[in-house]
């Protein structure tokens, strides 16, 4: 332990920006009602994974270092020291046993913002240099190369050109393009780097939709990565740096809008949270691809024939799009416009379970085994629907769902929203 860094970490509790943190740290009544909301507690049946226990890790430090009773009589107030044992517990519970899905918040009798407290604990751990190595490597790649997978620019350009050529071979899309670095367009489109690396068809699917809508758009070779793992590592300075690069690229290319590609956490980190950790509001419009597609359909800019999609479909709600992003109706309007029948999971929408890959879990190889175990809840949900295809507007979820599909032998296809919408396009 470095005493200087430990003191800096404790300053996060001693000098909070406003009263929110103290309110949430002092509000838990230890009722345990949040327990069965959490996929970690449900999967491992270990009381340490009850969401309220995660809150109490941080709250016990607050009592120890920021209250008179905790300083004088720590045992009486269940206050704890920030020592090696405590740090190890925090790393295990706050990084390794929380996807920051927010399901517990909906079931908390008091309304404690548990992911906010978890992220505060992560900020303390990040200050002490305790971010799990694989998560930190992902953040470092984004800071140093502009994308979290460290994809070299020439490789990215090759993939885009390949996708453009394939798309132009299809009837109706002979003149469709995937523009790169073109200034003065209406919108800058962004991707999850998993798309150029593993799922490039979702890039051409979005390009087909933009072509059908007659959109003015571009991708940037320098800054296309919508993700921000600095948000999940808890390092506000790195989260700000990554988000600032994106803000700057919108200005640099003189675009009016930033369209957030299909990535739940990227949408949360940029659209909903960046004004909080950056302490600035963007002076351009920022919306998700799903919202843009909704606008296209409602305004008649694109036409869809749902009978072109012929399989049985279910929908996985990414926590950061539906529960935390408020896009339940938007997502269903778009998906139901593109497929003949949607079989909902049980539970679904705001009550849906996380796939298990959120909150940075997918990037933390240290917890791979645990991540696949908690994915069993999602595997069972999918199996019960009897669907052939799982649709989801998040490439992190796509990745976790593909691993769940393989591990639990589900035999389903995983598709992004752009892919099912592109498959239903009727060119006018
Ligand atoms: S945010 Fe999700 S994963 Fe974290 S404690 Fe709450 S229910 Fe569990
Ligand atoms: S439901 Fe809320 S008040 Fe009850 S233990 Fe969980 S976090 Fe605490």
Parse the chain into domains and list their residue ranges.
3-130, 143-295, 303-426
CATH fold label, 143-295: Rossmann fold (3.40.50)
What average pLDDT score do residues 52-80 get? 95
Round to whole Å and give the CA distance between 240 and 123: 13
Distance 55 CA to ligand 2 centre (A): 9
Look up residue 180 and give its DSSP letter.
B
CATH fold label, 303-426: Rossmann fold (3.40.50)
Residue whose CA lies nearest to ligand 2 atom number 8: 28
Query: If you search the block for the tokens 């800054």, which residue do you land on?
Result: 223
Q: Does 100 contact ligand 1 (Cβ within 6 A)?
A: yes
Q: CB 327: neighbour CB atoms within 10 A? A: 24
In this prediction, residue 382 carries a pLDDT of 98
Name the residue of 56, 99, 119, 354 to mutate for ligand 1: max ligand atoms within 8 A of Cβ: 99
Q: CB 262: neighbour CB atoms within 10 A? A: 31
Comparing C-alpha atoms, which of 369, 347, 377, 371 is closest to residue 358? 371
Summarize pLDDT for 280-296 with one digit per residue, the tens. 889 999 999 999 999 99
Do residues 401 and 194 touch, judged by C-beta distance below 8 A?
no
Q: CB 406: neighbour CB atoms within 10 A? A: 11
Q: Does 167 contact ligand 2 (Cβ within 6 A)?
A: no
Summarize pLDDT for 298-314 with one digit per residue, the tens. 999 999 999 999 999 99
* Joined tokens for residue 139: 């953040």
Name the residue of 33, 43, 102, 370 to mutate for ligand 1: max ligand atoms within 8 A of Cβ: 102
What average pLDDT score do residues 403-415 get? 98
* pLDDT averaged over every residue in the chain: 96
Distance 125 CA to ligand 2 centre (A): 23
In this prediction, residue 276 carries a pLDDT of 87
Q: Does 114 contact ligand 1 (Cβ within 6 A)?
A: yes
Characterize the bridge pairing of strands 303-304 and 425-426: antiparallel
Q: Looking at the predicted structure, is the pLDDT value of residue 34 above 90?
A: yes
Round to whole Å and give the CA distance between 320 and 102: 9
In this prediction, residue 37 carries a pLDDT of 95
Do residues 408 and 375 touch, judged by C-beta distance below 8 A?
yes
Round to whole Å and give the CA distance between 346 and 200: 31
Taking the CA of 361 as reference, the closest ligand is 1
CATH superfamily of 3-130: Alpha-helical ferredoxin (1.10.1060.10)
Q: Looking at the predicted structure, is the pLDDT value of residue 125 above 80?
A: yes
pTM of the model: 0.95
Distance 56 CA to ligand 2 centre (A): 10
Summarize pLDDT for 139-185 with one digit per residue, the tens. 999 999 999 999 999 999 999 999 999 999 999 999 999 999 999 99
What average pLDDT score do residues 370-380 get? 98
Asked if the domains 143-295 and 303-426 are classified in one and the same CATH topology, the answer is yes
Length in residues, the chain = 428
Round to whole Å and give the CA distance between 346 and 249: 41
CA 166 to chain centroid, in Å, comes to: 29
Look up residue 300 and give its DSSP letter.
T
Round to whole Å and give the CA distance between 395 and 400: 9
E strand or H helix that includes residue 64: helix 51-66
């Amino acid at each position: 332990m470095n005493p200087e860094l430990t003191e800096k970490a404790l300053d996060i509790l001693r000098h909070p920006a406003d009263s929110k943190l103290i309110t949430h740290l002092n509000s838990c009544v230890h009722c345990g009602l949040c327990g069965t909301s959490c996929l970690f507690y449900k999967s491992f049946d270990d009381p340490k994974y009850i969401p309220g226990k995660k809150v109490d890790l941080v709250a016990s430090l607050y009592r120890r270092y920021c209250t008179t009773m905790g300083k004088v009589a720590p045992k009486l107030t269940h206050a704890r020291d920030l020592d090696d044992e405590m740090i190890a517990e925090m790393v295990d519970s706050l990084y390794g046993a929380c996807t920051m899905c927010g399901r517990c918040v909906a079931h908390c009798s008091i309304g404690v913002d548990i992911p906010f407290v978890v992220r505060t604990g992560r900020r303390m751990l990040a200050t002490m240099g305790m971010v799990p190595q694989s998560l930190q490597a992902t953040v470092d790649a984004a800071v140093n190369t502009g994308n979290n997978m460290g994809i070299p620019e020439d490789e990215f350009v090759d993939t885009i050109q390949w996708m453009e050529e394939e798309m132009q071979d299809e009837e109706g899309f002979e003149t469709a393009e995937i523009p790169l670095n073109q200034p003065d367009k209406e919108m800058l489109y962004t991707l999850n780097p998993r798309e150029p690396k593993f799922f490039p068809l979702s890039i051409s699917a979005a390009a087909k939709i933009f072509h059908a809508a007659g959109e003015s758009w571009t991708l940037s070779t320098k800054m296309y990565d919508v993700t921000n793992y600095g948000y999940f590592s808890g390092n506000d300075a790195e989260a700000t740096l990554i988000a600032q690069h994106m803000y700057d690229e919108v200005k640099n290319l003189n675009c009016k809008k930033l369209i957030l590609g299909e990535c739940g956490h990227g949408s949360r980190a940029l659209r909903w949270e960046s004004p909080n950790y950056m302490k600035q509001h963007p002076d351009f419009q920022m919306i998700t691809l799903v919202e843009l597609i909704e606008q296209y359909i409602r305004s008649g800019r694109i036409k869809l024939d749902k009978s072109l999609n012929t399989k049985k479909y279910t929908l996985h709600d990414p926590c950061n799009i539906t529960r935390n992003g408020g896009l339940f109706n938007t997502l269903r309007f778009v998906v139901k416009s593109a497929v003949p029948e949607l079989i909902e999971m049980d539970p679904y929408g705001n009550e849906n379970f996380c796939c298990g890959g959120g909150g940075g879990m997918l990037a933390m190889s240290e917890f791979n085994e645990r991540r696949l175990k908690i994915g069993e809840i999602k595997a069972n949900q999918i199996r019960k629907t009897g669907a052939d295809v799982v649709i989801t507007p998040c490439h992190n979820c796509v990745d976790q769902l593909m691993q769940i599909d393989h591990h639990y032998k589900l035999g389903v296809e995983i598709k992004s929203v752009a892919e099912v919408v592109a498959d239903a396009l009727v060119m006018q």
